[in-house]
Structure formats: structure tokens, C-alpha cells
Amino acid sequence: MKRTTLGEFEELMLLLVAYLGDEAYGVSVYKELVKETGRALNISAVHVALNRLDEKGLVSSKYGGISAERGGRRKKYYSLTTAGKTILSETFELRKRLYQRISFS
């Protein structure tokens, strides 16, 4: 498999999807993201990023049930794939290694 690199925003997405577990879909990821980072973002950025991760095979998606508060549209739930978990932990390992070499004085 071609090695994929992870952008900063994508990494955040993966982390949030992982954190939210069964409840990871567009709006919840968006809200969590805004809450944690305080960035002024639009939900379309989240959609684009999640779909890109989906295409890269780092997350998988499935539709949930119909609920009234969404105008009859289903939620699209995301979850981490094995590849997603791997790349996330690889990134984490890399960061950790590098951080440990730095001495913050």
C-alpha cells in the first residue's frame, strides 16, 4: 500500500472520530472540533476532510437510521479502519520520539 501522510487537520479528524466512537458523524465531529480548538470553521471543511479520509481508506463510513431532526436524512457514521488506527499510532509514535529528544528548558 502506498504510504499516506497525514495533514494536521486530518490528524485532528482521526483523533476526534476515534474519541467519539459510535457517535462520530459530521455534526458531532464539527462541534467537538470547534469546542476543543476554538477555531472558526465551517462544517463543510469537516465534510471534505472526512470524505477524503474515507477515500484514503483511513476511516470507514456507514449510514445510521432516519431521525426527524435531520429532515429525514440519515446520519453518516465514521469509524477508524485498521489503516487509520495504524497511521494514527505511527504519527503518535513519531511525535513522541521527537518530543522526547527536545529538552524544554
Partner 1 sequence: MDTPTPSRILTRILSWFCREDRIEEIEGDLAELFFERATTSNIKKAHMFYAWNILKAFQWSNLKKFTQMKTSKGLLINYIITSVRSLRRNRVYALINYFGLTLGLSSVLFAFIAIQYEYSFDRFAESDNIYRVVLHKQDQAKMNYSSNVPYPMATAIRNEIQGAGKVTGFHYSEMEKVKYDNELRYVNNVVFADSEFFEVLNFEVLSGNPKRILNSPGQALITDEMSMVLFGEADPIGRIIKLADENIEIAGVVSSPTQTHLDFNLIVSYPTLSSQFTADFDAINSWSMVLSGYCYLKLPSNDNLQSVEKRLYQLVQKYHEGTEKENNNYYLQALNDIHFNKRYADPRISTVSKDYLLILSSVSLFIMIIACINFINLNTAMASRRAREAGVRKVLGARPGQLINQFVLESMILTLVSLLSAMFVTWLILPFYNTFMNKELVISFSDHTFLIGSTALFVIVSLLAGWYPAFMISQFKAIRALKSEYSSVTLKGAGLRKFLVSFQFVISQIMIIGTLIVFSQIEFIRNKDLGFDQDAIITAPLFSRDSTELRKLKSILLQHKDIKHVSFGLGAPTSNNDLGTSFTFTNKENLEEANIRLKTVDNDYMETYGLRLLAGQWLTSSTTWQSKKNEFVINESALNAMGIENPIDVIGQNIELGINHMSGPIIGVVQNFHVRSLHEEIPPTVMLYFPRLHYEAGLKISGLNVPETLETIESAWQSVYPDEILQYTFMDDLLDQFYIQDKKILLLFNIFSWTSIFIACLGLFGLIAFTIHQKMLEIGIRKVFGAKSLHIIWILSTRLLLLVCAATIISFPLAFVAMNRWLEGFAYRVDISPFYFILALLITLLITVGSVGYRAFKASIINPIRILRNE
Least Cα distance to 54 among 20, 10, 100 occurs for 10
Alpha-carbon distance of 38 to 1, in angstroms, equals: 35
How near is the Cβ of 25 to partner 1 at its closest, in Å?
A: 7
Binding piece for partner 1, criterion CB under 8 A, among 8-16, 46-54, 83-91, 94-102: 46-54
- Is residue 63 close enough to count as binding partner 1 by CB under 8 A? yes
- Is residue 27 close enough to count as binding partner 1 by CB under 8 A? yes
**Residue 71 DSSP code:** T
Q: Which amino acid is at 51?
A: N
- Interface residue with partner 1, options 39, 62, 70, 96 (CB under 8 A): 70
Describe the crossing of helices 43-56 and 8-20 by its angle, rounded to 10 degrees.
90
Task: Summarize as ranges the residues that interact with partner 1 (CB under 8 A).
Answer: 25-27, 30, 42-45, 47-48, 51-52, 63, 69-71, 73-76
